[in-house]
Amino acid sequence: MTIDDLEAAGLRRMDDSDIAAFLSNQRVGVLGLPTEAGPYMIPLSFGYDGDRSLYFTFVGGSASRKQQLTEAAADATVLVYKVESMFHWESVLLQGSIEAVPESEWDDLADVLDGAWRPEVFADAIEKEDVAIYRFHIDEREGLRHAGLPPGFEPE
């Protein structure tokens, strides 16, 4: 089935303003980085600048596999999704490029990164470990949402 076929069941494409609003209200997603064996998937927390970039922080230094793959990646994918039920969900798929943000720019990103969700263990690690901040520049984006009713359910 195609997305067009599924529209009859309540699936809707999100426009650019829907996608921007969705990304502004979400804080976690999955980063897909290319490897020879297939994509390397990393859950991450991000801040969104309201325009065309996500920002995220890695803790652990250059010995970390995720950081090595990020540095080597020319292109990457981010999936951000929210599921309330099997009949009410949203997802946004982003394609783009990643670049390290120079430390001289970190203070300018404080507001964007302040909204990123971090488990307490990461907050503690940030104080003690090597930290890197990355910008994911969004080149392409596609969003889908389903806010329909279960099949056969008719409202009164």
CATH number at residue 131: 2.30.110.10
Spatial distance between the Cα atoms of 90 and 142, rounded to a whole number of angstroms: 11
**Residue listed under structure tokens 């389903």:** 146
User: 3 lies in a domain?
Assistant: no
Q: Is the pLDDT of residue 1 over 60?
A: yes
The structural domain count of the chain equals: 1
Between the CA of residue 146 and those of 4, 86, 91, what are the distances in Å?
13, 9, 9
pLDDT in tens, 100-144: 998 888 888 878 877 665 555 555 555 555 778 899 999 999 999
Domain range holding 84?
Answer: 13-146
> Model's pTM, two decimal places?
0.83
Per-residue 3-state assignment (H helix, E strand, C coil) for 91-114: EEEEEEEEEECCHHHHHHHHHHHH
